[in-house]
Chains A and B, each alone.
Chain A
Amino acid sequence: MQLRSLTVCAIIAFAAGLIVASFAGFREFLPGLLQGALITVEITLGGCVLSVIAAVIAALAKMYGPWPIRWLAVVYIEIFRGTSALVQLFWLFFVLPRFGLTMEPLTVAILALGLNVGAYGAEVVRGAVAAVPRGQWEATIALNMNRAQALRRIILPQAVVAMIPPWGNLFIELLKATAIVSLITVADLAFRAQEMNATTYRTVEIFSIVLVIYLAMAMLITIGMRRLEGLAAKGLARGRSH
């Protein structure tokens, strides 16, 4: 039922897009904006993948690591949650080269956003793992599994279902945050829009199209995550024992 209302929203968004498209500037701006959107998609996808990896590693390190590793994980999480994504982006882009580490703007963008969202995701992962009933852990001990085996085979597969909805929100946050990468010369959707606006001053048309494109991408993420949640829940619900 949620899925259907989302589909309706997507259709409305598309219709709105058509209305916007009927503006005179549509033909003129859309190709350039879509090029930017492609970069935005690229950063979003890369950032999402990185954020999940970073979050799982950080969460497990914080929960189960020996103290130096636990400490590192806490430092990572606190720094990336406690400072703004923009500052992190600038730091990676402008400060790291001073220490001899220069990266492509696109790489920096993915890195900054992935690590930023990963820090929030670590708490999501931690919460979901902690929510797996204690009896599951006890069964793994009684079966003589070690912690890594228990996590990999028993605990994480059950925790994943609870993680999916909050991860959906984080992915959308990540998508929206990609707009800041225009500030380090990455030609994403926001960058293209500003560029066109600066030369043509046709603000209403340009930013209306941009709005619709962002909305459509966010909706795709939401729909994708709902699908995923449905699949995962079905897999687990078949087996939920109480």
Chain B
Amino acid sequence: MTDIAKGPAPAAAPTGSPMVRFDQVTKSYGAFVVLDQLELDVAAGEKVAIIGPSGSGKTTVLRMLMTLEPINGGVIWVDGEPLTSMRRNGALVPADARHLRRMRGKIGMVFQHFNLFPHMTALKNCMEAPCTVLGLSKAESEARGRELLVMVGLGDKLQHYPAQLSGGQQQRVAIARALAMRPKVMLFDEVTSALDPELVGEVLNVIRKLGAELDLTMLMVTHQMGFAKEFADRVCFFYGGKICEQGPPAKLFGSPENERTRQFLRAVLEAT
């Protein structure tokens, strides 16, 4: 059963294309299978929260989607196209740099540890990729960066370096920086986990705002169950490299069917 992923990949785009589709995606490190034939569709504009115990493969899902990790089997589809392969004469072949660049342009990611560029101001952090990658003029990318930093509530911190900002502010810069590339899909990997508790709210508020104002598809790994419940359209509970249970937040948090889900939610509730 686990070998199916190594079979020939489907050469046609899935019908009724979702924005993101994991099609029997397998990821392993050596003999250790992290994700086992993952199946996951995310519709355009949908907000999916990914929860689950540590080590269940949540981060790996996002990293594969951002092309930070190669996959060992299956196909990831983004916006109707295969992510790391491309069609040539009806068959899927590994993607060239051009295809990868086009696909990456559709996706933005915010990291747990911000990964801001320490030698650049908040504004420069947001301008860098629009300038060098998209080829925008300095004035255009500056206007874009300024607008986004204002949107995340940092209009007065444009010229601050990351070290001069609090964790919450840094993470908001990181969100603005990702948005500056105008992605269709945004990935959030435990973006509040490295923050002091009192700073979590300001970052979640920004994400709420994005959800309300922008037409983004979002996948977010989170331990903030309250936020997932209120914000997500769907919650996926990962366990041991598989989606153990998924559904609307009300259902998954209110009346989970799977015993593992119940255990996990109980454990999380106890901790908070």
A144 adjacent to B113 (CB under 8 Å): no
B237 CB-CB contact with A under 8 Å: no
Closest chain B CB from A231 CB (angstroms): 13
**List of B residues within 8 angstroms of A138 by Cβ:** 66, 68, 111, 115
Interface with B: A49-57, A60-68, A151-159, which one? A151-159
Contact of B97 among A139, A146, A154 (CB under 8 A): A146
Determine if A144 and B181 form an interchain contact, defined as CB atoms under 8 angstroms apart.
yes
How near does chain B come to A136, taking the closest CB pair, in angstroms? 6
Contact B108 A237 (CB under 8 A): no
CB <8 Å contact, A240 and B115: no
B132 within 8 A of A: yes
A238 touches B67 (CB 8 A): no
Given contacts A139-B115, A142-B108, A144-B129, contact A239 B68 (CB under 8 A): no
Interface string of B110-133 (1 = CB under 8 A from A): 010111111111000000110011
Q: Most chain-B CB neighbours within 10 Å: which of A139, A153, A235, A242? A: A139
B13 at the interface (CB under 8 A from A): no
Assess whether A144 is in contact with B115, with CB atoms less than 8 Å apart.
no
- A contact residues vs B (CB 8 Å cutoff): 133, 135-136, 138-139, 141-146, 149, 153-154, 157-158, 235-242
Find out whether the CB atom of B67 lies under 8 angstroms from the CB atom of A141.
Answer: yes
Chain B 50-70 interface 0/1 with A at a Cβ cutoff of 8 Å (1 = within): 000000000000000011100
Evaluate whether A146 and B101 lie within 8 angstroms (CB atoms) in the complex, with A135-B113, A139-B111 already known.
yes
Least distance between B122 CB and chain A CB atoms (Å): 10
Q: How far is the CA of A68 from the CA of B121 in the complex (A)?
A: 39
Bound CA–CA A157/B128 (angstroms): 14
Residues of A with C-beta under 8 A to B118: 158, 236, 239-241
- Judge whether A238 and B111 touch: CB under 8 Å: no
Whether A142 contacts B178 by the Cβ 8 Å rule is yes
**Which residues on B sit within 8 Å (CB–CB) of A238?**
161, 163-164
Residue among A141, A142, A149, A242 facing the most chain B CB atoms (10 A cut-off): A142
Cβ contacts A to B, 24 pairs, < 8 Å: A136-B117, A138-B66, A139-B111, A139-B115, A139-B116, A142-B68, A142-B111, A142-B178, A143-B128, A144-B101, A144-B105, A144-B129, A144-B133, A145-B133, A153-B128, A237-B163, A238-B161, A238-B163, A239-B117, A239-B161, A241-B162, A241-B163, A241-B170, A242-B113
State A158–B162 Cα separation when bound (angstroms): 14
| Complex Cα gap A9–B195 (Å) | 47
CB-based contact B178/A239 at 8 Å: no
B132 and A145 form a contact (CB under 8 A)? yes
**B115 and A136 contact, CB distance less than 8 A:** yes
Residues in chain B near residue A146, CB distance under 8 A = 97, 101
Residues of A within 8 A of B47 (CB): none
> What is the chain A residue whose CB lies nearest that of B164?
A238
Chain B residues, Cβ within 8 Å of A145:
129, 132-133
What residues on B are CB-neighbors of A239 within 8 Å? Answer: 116-121, 161-164
Q: Is the CB of A157 within 8 A of B119?
A: yes
In the complex, what distance in Å separates the CA atom of A239 from the CA atom of B128? 15
The docked-state distance in angstroms from the alpha carbon of A61 to that of B176 is: 34
Q: Which residues of A contact B68 (CB under 8 A)?
A: 138, 141-142
B238 to chain A, nearest CB (A): 21
Report the separation of the CA atoms of residues A177 and B162 in the bound assembly, to the nearest whole angstrom: 43
Bound state CA distance, A132 and B247, in angstroms?
41
Q: A236–B129 contact, CB under 8 A?
A: no
**Residue B177 is within 8 A (CB to CB) of chain A in the complex:** yes
Q: Which residues of B contact A237 (CB under 8 A)?
A: 163
Minimum CB–CB distance from B230 to chain A (whole Å) comes to: 27
CB neighbours (8 Å) of B109 from chain A are 142
Shortest Cβ-Cβ A-B pairs, 10 listed: A239-B118, A239-B161, A143-B129, A135-B115, A139-B115, A241-B162, A142-B109, A238-B161, A144-B104, A149-B132
Looking at the assembled complex, report how far the CB atom of B101 sits from the nearest CB atom of chain A, in whole angstroms: 6
B224 to chain A, nearest CB (A): 22
- Check if B66 sits within 8 Å of A141, measured CB to CB: yes
In the complex, chain B residues 186-239 whose Cβ is within 8 Å of any chain A Cβ? none
Contact between chains at A154 and B117 (CB < 8 Å) = yes
User: Complex: how many Å from CA A43 to CA B67?
Assistant: 48
In the bound assembly, the distance between CA atoms of A87 and B109 in angstroms comes to: 53
* Interchain nearest-CB distance for A148 vs B (Å): 10
Contact, CB under 8 Å: A240 / B163? yes
Chain A residues positioned under 8 Å from B115 (CB to CB): 133, 135-136, 138-139
Inter-chain contacts of B116 with A (CB < 8 A): 139, 239, 241
Residue numbers in B under 8 Å from A141 (CB-CB): 66-68, 104
Residues of B with C-beta under 8 A to A154: 117, 128
Q: Using A139-B116, A239-B120 as known contacts, list a sample of 17 further A-B pairs with CB atoms less than 8 Å apart, ordered by residue number in A.
A: A135-B113, A142-B68, A143-B178, A145-B129, A145-B133, A146-B97, A154-B117, A158-B119, A236-B119, A238-B164, A239-B116, A239-B117, A239-B118, A239-B164, A240-B163, A241-B116, A241-B118
